[in-house]
Structure 1
Amino acid sequence: MTYAEFKDQLAAPFPARRVLWRAQSFTHDRTSARMVAYVDARTVMERLDEVCPDAWEFDVEFLTGALPAARGQLTVLGLTRCDVGEAGEGDAATLKAAASDALKRCAVHFGIGRYLYDLPSPWVDWDEEQRAPVEVPRLPEWALGEEERANGATHVLSTLDALRATLPRDVNQLREVYRLVRAALDAAAH
């Protein structure tokens, strides 16, 4: 078993129900919030157990500082990657939170959840009383697990339509976007 053999399985999108959203920032009046997607450490461990159950190991060392922090070392199929996690502030500032963050950050080095960084961070209506979004953002079709995607090219076409509104207006920038898309399509065809 090698990492190269299991790389795509590790990096595959999670089922939508496993992707969580948190508020990253708010408008001044706290009626809207910018949401970012993430997965919890348990979801990362489940992916590792699913793909390579007997071939991963996580070690953690706690660091001293103002906030709880941890240096994690994740070994998957013989490869080791390290990263640092922080607990954040408030009630969640625990050593456990720092260790979980370190695991998630190490896992990204193996492609686990890395696609989440490519997701849009939408502004949504915020219910301050509930401390939650009025409506949870939906994942784009490309970020859904294989079993959740629409059949055929429908999802690709709808994603392209959604992207059309965000294309630059400058002709030179449009040419660069076209060049990159064309190169990606050519690479996918080979």
Structure 2
Amino acid sequence: MTGISILEALAQPMEDNEIEWKVQTVSRNNQGQLNALIVPYVQARAIQSRLDKVCGLLWQTKYRELTIFEKPAIECTISIFHNNVWISRCDAAEATQYESVKGGYSDALKRAAVQFGIGRFLYSLPQFWVPISNTRPQGQSEYIGGQYKVNGKNEYVKGYYTRPELNLNQNQASLETGKQTSAAQQPSTKQSNKKEPTEYSPQQLQKEIFDCLQVLNINPQYAPNLFHYIHCPPKQLQHASKEELLGLYELLHPVKMYVLICTDTFKLSVEHQLWYASHFLEQSIGSYMQLIGCLDDSSIRIIFDIIRNDLNTQQRA
């Protein structure tokens, strides 16, 4: 096999039985129906099986302990023997709170595997909203039980949801939910009726920008200087055109959502939020200000996948 064909084989989507699901957040719509946003992840055993299938005996892993922000971590290096040379790629993960060695090794393996394309297809999947019911549905289902923030309030949630079936074709996926599709994709009427940013008036855009600045702990007086991110000279918000305000909003909003979800859903400290962003961007990030222009919806989804894998390993350990 050529190097390209090996990478293509490693990057092929997994079978449904090799994919696990985890609840990220829960929402209640105006009719009182609970819906869960669930995210897929690949188990370490599935990664090892993929390497066995594609590379046979010609692969190996090495681990080493290190320290990241004064916290113990594990680095995994995956090496594949090709054309008489060992090709190596590595990544690291913090040790988990429980069974830190086992969890850290598993997470590090998953991250290193992504460097070879294994499991990377997960990053292109759409969001999966599924209804939660009190009774176990027919077919493959999962139980949910625990404390979640539902529409901004802490609530103990328990029930069942149907595991999605992925229809994978050329690395694309769609969710087969039958009659439940519309309800699953629209967890709340309020959310589905929300205006698109392009429909905002200039005054509404100014308000949204101020909200972003407040979440990011940026002094509103600094707002005129932010226009250089969209290649405009400094100006007061009230003097900016709608197009300029929209451009600034589209830069700030992903960072705002990153901070809110990290804080409210994942319960991460500012230090951990910046560490994950630094890890993904491969540069030192010391403040929210440095994230402006660096994050978009696609990149924060990838970071959230990494965070969820970490938290999931901690819970399963």
Same fold? TM cut 0.5: yes
1:81 paired to 2:81:
no
1:122 paired to 2:128:
yes
CA shift, 1:6, in A, is 1.3
1:58 paired to 2:64:
no
What's the counterpart of residue 183 of structure 1?
none
User: What percentage of aligned pairs have identical amino acids?
Assistant: 34
What's the counterpart of residue 141 of structure 1?
168
- Paired with 1:104 and 1:47, the residues of 2 have a C-alpha distance of 12
Cα distance change of structure 1 residues 88 and 94 upon mapping to structure 2, 3 Å threshold:
closer
Cα distance change of structure 1 residues 143 and 2 upon mapping to structure 2, 3 Å threshold:
closer
What's the counterpart of residue 5 of structure 2?
5
- Paired with 2:159 and 2:104, the residues of 1 have a C-alpha distance of 23
CA shift, 1:87, in A, is 4.8
Q: Deviations over 1:131-168 (max 9, x none)?
A: 675111221332789xxx9xxxxx9xxxxxx9xx9xx9
1:108 paired to 2:111:
no
Q: RMSD of aligned C-alpha atoms? A: 3.5
Contact 2:13 2:168 in 1 (8 A): no
Moved more, 128-137 or 109-118: 128-137
1:70 paired to 2:66:
no
Q: What's the TM-score once normalised by structure 1's chain length?
A: 0.64
What's the counterpart of residue 19 of structure 1?
19
What's the counterpart of residue 46 of structure 1?
49
The amino acid across from 2:91 in the alignment is D
SS in 2 for 1:9: helix
What's the counterpart of residue 177 of structure 1?
none
Cα distance change of structure 1 residues 83 and 49 upon mapping to structure 2, 3 Å threshold:
same
Q: Deviations over 1:46-99 (max 9, x none)?
A: 10011112221111112346865311111123211111123555x5x5211111
The amino acid across from 2:78 in the alignment is L
Contact 2:6 2:54 in 1 (8 A): yes
- Paired with 2:94 and 2:131, the residues of 1 have a C-alpha distance of 28
Unaligned 5+ segments in structure 2 are 133-143, 147-156, 175-180, 186-195, 199-317
The amino acid across from 1:122 in the alignment is F
Q: What's the TM-score once normalised by structure 2's chain length?
A: 0.40
SS in 1 for 2:117: coil
Q: Deviations over 1:98-121 (max 9, x none)?
A: 111111111111111100111122
